[in-house]
Amino acid sequence: MWSCITDFFTYETTKSVVVKSWTIGIINRVVQLLIITYFVGWVFLYEKAYQIRDTAIESSVMTKVKGFGVYNNRVMDVADYVTPTQGASVFCIITKMITTENQFQGYCPESETKYNCTHDSDCTKFLNKPGSNGIPTGRCVHFNSSLMMCEIQGWCPAEIDTITTSPMMEVENFTIFIKNSIRFPTFNYTKGNFLPTITDSYIKKCNFDLVNNTYCPIFRVGDVVRYAQQNFNILANKGGVIGIKIGWICDLDKSDDECNPSYSFTRLDAMSQKNAVSPGYNFRFAKYYKTENGTDYRTLVKAYAIRFDVLVNGNVRES
């Protein structure tokens, strides 16, 4: 008990040893210098770690596409080739369409060659499985005078999507106008991609490029595709997804003029380039009509499109 108390009321300190050696001395000072250089040079001067950061960007994006193309001897305008039409940050420009007109509900032969048959018995294996264009009925019917196909119930005639058509090449010259407003809530800092230096007359004729017009908010589709290192012909033929990234990386301790957007471009669906099973990007939609006697019919469109996703990210800091 007593020894415990005497042990407790003691004072201990470490004994320091001075080693007068040039080698150890130099190593000691070099290590100290490295640590100081790291803190002063990297942490304070370069990374400015003493500043407060905000990456929770609030952003709104509005887009508008302009241009006219010719497809199947028809002049196409924005309402024909842009979908959805609201001008959001994600939109598609249709480059190629396979249309199947006048489809009615009914019974008709399948159009894909894997459904060829000679007897009804060839078709029973498709029963109770989804077909390509409708529900198989298990009957074998004439597709034309020489070819027989399994029958389906659905929208008829079935779409034949193996035909090759050429894309609308004018898309390359279409322009995309992007309006982006951002706010960093921590600093209540707001800004838009229309910099004060952009005048009305400049915006009427400018096109973004990476050298002379880095802040012009109008982008030529062909340039965007090129900056994303893609081939326009291949992309227009198969479809794809291109990302337009807007980065706001600012030091608010500096003047407001130095907080500017930086644009970069990339292909987002890189996987579908390498993968041969489902290359590119396409989707289907239909336009519905009514006959005089009241039955519905429709025009089915399989659209190949270039989808643009405008992605905004930011990182601002202030002392």
Ligand X SMILES: *[C@@H]1O[C@H](CO)[C@@H](O)[C@H](O)[C@H]1NC(C)=O
CB nearer to ligand X: pick between 84 and 196: 196
Size of the site for ligand X (CB under 6 A): 20
Q: Is 254 annotated as a binding residue?
A: no
Q: Is 282 annotated as a binding residue?
A: yes
117 binds ligand X (CB under 6 A): yes
291 binds ligand X (CB under 6 A): yes
Instruction: State which of residues 122, 161, 251, 309 lies at the interface with ligand X (CB under 6 A).
Output: 122
CB nearer to ligand X: pick between 208 and 272: 208
Q: Is 66 annotated as a binding residue?
A: yes
Q: How far is Cα 309 from Cα 178, in angstroms, rounded to an integer?
A: 11
Query: Omega into 217 within 30° of 0, i.e. cis?
Result: no
CB nearer to ligand X: pick between 99 and 124: 124
Q: How far is Cα 287 from Cα 239, in angstroms, rounded to an integer?
A: 21
- Tokens describing residue 287: 């336009």
Instruction: State which of residues 116, 181, 186, 273 lies at the interface with ligand X (CB under 6 A).
Output: 116
Q: Is 283 annotated as a binding residue?
A: yes
Footprint on residues 6-45 left by ligand X (CB under 6 A): none
Place of tokens 């982006």: 180
162 binds ligand X (CB under 6 A): no
Tell the smallest beta-carbon distance from residue 75 to ligand X (Å). 13
Render the burial of 43-69: b for 16+ CB within 10 Å, e for the rest.
eeeeeeeeeeebeebebebebebebeb
Nearest partner of 251 among 159, 196, 184, 194, judged by Cα: 184
Q: Is 174 exposed, middle or buried (0-12, 13-18, 19+ CB in 10 A)?
A: buried
Q: Is 48 left (phi over 0), alpha (psi -120 to 50) or beta?
A: left
Q: Is 311 exposed, middle or buried (0-12, 13-18, 19+ CB in 10 A)?
A: middle
Residue 276 phi/psi, 5-degree rounding, is: -85, -15
- Candidates 48-56, 170-178, 246-254, 271-279: pick the segment binding ligand X (CB under 6 A): 170-178
- Candidates 20-28, 91-99, 115-123, 244-252: pick the segment binding ligand X (CB under 6 A): 115-123
Q: How far is Cα 97 from Cα 186, in angstroms, rounded to an integer?
A: 47
Residue 239 phi/psi, 5-degree rounding, is: 85, 165
Q: How far is Cα 259 from Cα 195, in angstroms, rounded to an integer?
A: 10
- Candidates 27-35, 59-67, 209-217, 246-254: pick the segment binding ligand X (CB under 6 A): 209-217
223 binds ligand X (CB under 6 A): no
CB nearer to ligand X: pick between 89 and 242: 242
Nearest partner of 116 among 129, 132, 105, judged by Cα: 132
Instruction: State which of residues 10, 73, 146, 255 lies at the interface with ligand X (CB under 6 A).
Output: 146
CB nearer to ligand X: pick between 188 and 197: 188
- Candidates 52-60, 207-215, 237-245, 250-258: pick the segment binding ligand X (CB under 6 A): 207-215
Q: Is 265 annotated as a binding residue?
A: no
Residue positions forming the annotated binding site? 64-66, 175, 282-284, 302
* Site residues for ligand X per CB under 6 A: 116-118, 122, 143-147, 169-170, 172-173, 188, 209, 211-212, 291, 293, 295
- Binding residue numbers for ATP: 64-66, 175, 282-284, 302
